[in-house]
Structure 1
């Protein structure tokens, strides 16, 4: 492996010599592309990720000159995969370039896949606003390709981050819409109660007990089976505790549900917000008395 970097430099020099030399334009770029590909492989073996990334960008440039847009987009993806090791910012930039190129040639499924990947990189960065942008784009593209399951995965990410950013109506709309559409698909029916539970928790976060009660009635109309689930009872008991402004009851309801069905970090965070809001009201009333 020790000489892989030196081999990579040699292949890169040969590629540049091809481009700068005489010859038919298309063939010299094709020859240079082959040499850049070899250089990139050598730099990857050497784990020289930045160097490999820069070479794959040059490789993409050759494919653009040869009017091979699919190969160019794939080279940008290769560059991004290398930059993931050293710079998420660079990785995002080149994946975005690949997405634009895949859209140009009508490869919507590929564009959706890499939009999703960009969303995931922004998620790692905890830049939820930008993550939402790319997961929304990805969902739209997957839907255009009738890849419903993949589209829903992206929609759930949008809903998750929207709720984290206190954009509750947006999250509620997504969970309710997916629940409604899932009722008509046998393979997706089992997930409906979970989607309605998430929507209901977001309703509670809005702090409007009447709206939450109305939502629970709508959910029963949407899916008559929902009222017989533990998820429905959980939401109804929480709404009752909020209405009574009873922090102890609210806490006990959560504890009981969690002992049977452990709550994930997202639900716990949102329910904690509701509890803190209840506590604040309690303190206000104590101050008044």
Structure 2
């Protein structure tokens, strides 16, 4: 009964919105602001009635009216409301599209923080089921804040990009992303964060199978690591150099590695261990015993009639 009443209320608000958009001899211009307000009220009614398609349609029409009135900020807010409806109905295919639309309108309004925030919130919605789309939104967000010289905010988005790339197994790109993140943390003098990122970069390089790059990363950034991090990395790199899987396993079991962000602790858990080098049972070439026959020498062959 309540749903029916709300739907009827919403339909009446739509009629009022459409009336505001009509022109006549005495009314030359549509009243976009009034129409947008009526459409938004109608969207709320349909949402309460759980008529989500009608709700989404009304928010879309409200956004169009706000754009006609050059009210970019309020139009963007309508697109963000559509994203919430898509999340509520678990219909995520259009989330990225509406997030980018909202971002563009916030930028037009001169609100880069709101633009980046819209991308960030949408990426969180997508991260579990569509991580590739979430990654694109985070990458867009970092571009937005970098244009505003917001280094600290950029570092936060860079962190999300690095973690997501590791989660997706994109180790080549993750290594580049981590170096970029380290660079941003250098600008803010966040040396503790750089030390932790150095550990992750070493793990990523080992996951790529590039032990030389892993050692180079440690030499370059190890001075930002704390004592426990340094000792663990030294032990880990030595284990890979010695092809000692047991020592590598011991290093990767370090408590601080297990307490890292979940994507990085999983990387450490699943890191392929070095394979112990094979030693031949005849290693060392022991001298033949007295009973063994020595191979013939050239002189012996010549005494028996030459080499022919």
CA distance in 2, matches of 1:52, 1:214: 55
In structure 2, do the counterparts of structure 1 residues 58 and 138 end up closer, same or farther at CA, with 3 Å as the change threshold? same
CA distance in 1, matches of 2:159, 2:137: 13
Structure 2 length normalisation: TM-score?
A: 0.78
Aligned residues: 277
Structure 1 length normalisation: TM-score?
A: 0.83
CA distance in 2, matches of 1:175, 1:219: 12
**Contact 2:60-2:79 within 8 A present in 1 as well:** yes
Alignment root-mean-square deviation, CA: 2.8
What are the ranges of 5 or more consecutive residues in structure 2 without an aligned counterpart? 283-308
Aligned twin of 1:245: 243
In structure 2, do the counterparts of structure 1 residues 18 and 144 end up closer, same or farther at CA, with 3 Å as the change threshold? same
Aligned twin of 2:98: 94
In structure 2, do the counterparts of structure 1 residues 234 and 65 end up closer, same or farther at CA, with 3 Å as the change threshold? same
Aligned twin of 2:203: 201
Deviations 1:208-241 (A, max 9, x none): 2222222211114xxx353x52112212211111
Aligned twin of 1:103: 107
What's the CA shift for 1:135? 0.9
In structure 2, do the counterparts of structure 1 residues 213 and 163 end up closer, same or farther at CA, with 3 Å as the change threshold? same
In structure 2, do the counterparts of structure 1 residues 67 and 106 end up closer, same or farther at CA, with 3 Å as the change threshold? same
**Contact 1:109-1:145 within 8 A present in 2 as well:** no
CA distance in 1, matches of 2:232, 2:137: 33
In structure 2, do the counterparts of structure 1 residues 269 and 12 end up closer, same or farther at CA, with 3 Å as the change threshold? same
CA distance in 1, matches of 2:187, 2:97: 39
**Contact 1:112-1:142 within 8 A present in 2 as well:** yes
CA distance in 1, matches of 2:256, 2:134: 33
Aligned twin of 1:150: 153
Deviations 1:99-137 (A, max 9, x none): 222233443222211222232233122332x32222111
Report the more deviating stretch, 242-251 or 21-30: 21-30
**Contact 2:42-2:55 within 8 A present in 1 as well:** yes
CA distance in 2, matches of 1:26, 1:203: 63
Q: Which has the larger radius of gyration?
A: 2
CA distance in 2, matches of 1:99, 1:259: 38
Aligned twin of 1:271: 268
Q: Which has the higher helix share?
A: 1
